[in-house]
Structure 1
Amino acid sequence: MSFETLLNSLSPQVIGSLKRAIELGKWPDGRVLTDEQRRRCGQAVSAWEQRNLPPESRTGFVPPKESPCAPRPTDERKLTWV
């Protein structure tokens, strides 16, 4: 089975199971993930999320911070002294 075929066959439930296995370091039946299995699961999750989720919903997404140097919206009203 090719990687493309595998990605096309994954469902959100399977991705959730893979993510959980990566987090815990073991499969649902209690067997420990090898380093190779953890790496491949991570690749599959990352590739699936890249194809199927918007950036803000992907694992590891960090919203951009506003830079202190970035232009800020200006208030168009001008102050006048009375």
Structure 2
Amino acid sequence: MDAKQLIDAITPEAYERLLFAVETGKWPEGTPLTLEQRDSCMQAVMLYQSKHNKDAQHMTVAQGGEISFKSKAELKKQFNSAEEDIVRVNPNH
């Protein structure tokens, strides 16, 4: 299977499982990844992101295969705008 076939075969659900595995070192069921599985999953995640990642986060592979780095200021701005959507139960906090 070549890289294009692999990317096309990955569903969004499979991508989420692979991403979880790469981030935690375990499958969602809790089974640890071997080093070979981790490396393969990381490659698959990067390939998937290179095609589908339109809103790249800090240090990810953006659509088109470009590595995307966001500055600290950009991340703060992003998090501050997301914080506005949070509904506070206790207004004193």
User: TM-score band (shorter)?
Assistant: 0.5 to 0.7
With structure 1 as the length reference, what TM-score do the two structures score? 0.62
Larger radius of gyration: 1
What are structure 2's unaligned runs of at least 5 residues? Answer: 60-67, 73-93
- 1:26 Cα offset (Å): 1.0
With over 3 angstroms needed to count, the CA separation of the structure-2 counterparts of 1:52 and 1:58, relative to structure 1, is farther
Q: What's the RMSD between the two structures over aligned residues?
A: 2.3
Q: Which moved more, 1:39-48 or 1:9-18?
A: 9-18
Contact 1:49 1:58 (8 Å CA) reproduced: no
CA distance in 2, matches of 1:59, 1:7: 22
Q: Which amino acid aligns with 2:33?
A: L
Q: Which has the higher strand share?
A: 2
With structure 2 as the length reference, what TM-score do the two structures score? 0.56
Q: Which amino acid aligns with 2:70?
A: P
Matched pairs, number = 65
Contact 1:25 1:38 (8 Å CA) reproduced: yes
Name the % identity.
33
| Aligned residue in 1 for 2:86 | none
Deviations 1:35-60 (A, max 9, x none): 11111101011011111223x42562
